[in-house]
Amino acid sequence: MNNSFEYSGRDNLDIMSFATKYNNTIFEWLSSDLLIEHSVLDFGAGQGEFFNRFKANYQKTFALEPDSSMHSYYKTNKVYDSLTDINEKFNLIYSVNVFEHLPDDKLIVNQLKNYLKSDNSIIKIFVPARQELYSSMDKKVGHYRRYSKKQLKELFSTNGYKVHSCKYFDFLGYFAAFAYKFLNSSGDIDSKGLVFYDKYIFPISLFLDKFFSHFIGKNLILEASLIVEKIDE
């Protein structure tokens, strides 16, 4: 990521802030097992949906966002424009709906290893799933791809990480996204439809994830840590 990056389809990004239950669930997953003294990096903070939540609860939270027009959203005076600006390591690096925007995701996966602490650290990744769902919305917001479970796991497991879990998220969202692909050519997200889904459908989808997260869903969530080589004494 570099400081010439700008989001396309920014209106969609803003509309997603209305998905309260959806965003709450993601934040709960991201912050699980995190201690108050831990350091956190939001890689690709976007409009600050999750960064501002972390910043309110964890003092050592930092944002990396190459699109400077987004910086006004953040409740902080310091925002990193690129990884080369960072001189510290973190207990948690997370990234929500960012990797699909990267032309070379493998390069970033390898670079991020330099910013995770060797002990007691984890990286959490949230991305859109299933290439068959690629639609006008993906094109509008600048997605290069949607990931398969195998593809995402191998992206990390073959580049120096131990993958602890990789599973699908939002089971019913898969079918909603499939319908959207054929019924909506504008690439826009309908705010009223989103709020209805978030309020009434998503809680059911979240319950069904308990049974179907290994098989299908609209998104993928991954947790991984560094593989640290032991030195024989």
Contacts of 40 (CB under 8 A, 6+ apart): 34, 54, 58, 60, 61, 62, 90, 91, 92, 93, 94
Average pLDDT over residues 40-64: 95
Domain spans in the chain, listed from the N-terminal domain onward:
10-226
65, two tokens: 């966002």
| Beta-bridge partner residues of 224 | 123, 163
130: region left, alpha or beta (phi > 0 left; psi from -120 to 50 alpha): left
What band does 36 get if pLDDT is binned at 50, 70 and 90?
very high
Higher pLDDT, 129 or 2: 129
Nearest Cα to 10, choosing from 107, 95, 97?
A: 97
Give the rounded percent of residues in the chain with a pLDDT score beyond 90. 78
For residues 17 and 19, what is the distance between their CA atoms, to the nearest angstrom? 5
pLDDT score, position 16: 86
What band does 4 get if pLDDT is binned at 50, 70 and 90?
very low
What band does 217 get if pLDDT is binned at 50, 70 and 90?
very high
In this model, does residue 158 exceed pLDDT 80?
Answer: yes
In this model, does residue 3 exceed pLDDT 80?
Answer: no
Write phi, then psi, for 131 (nearest 5 degrees): -60, -25
What's domain 10-226's architecture? 3-Layer(aba) Sandwich (3.40)
**Coil, strand or helix at 182:** helix
pLDDT score, position 85: 94
In this model, does residue 233 exceed pLDDT 50?
Answer: no
Please name the amino acid found at residue 5. F
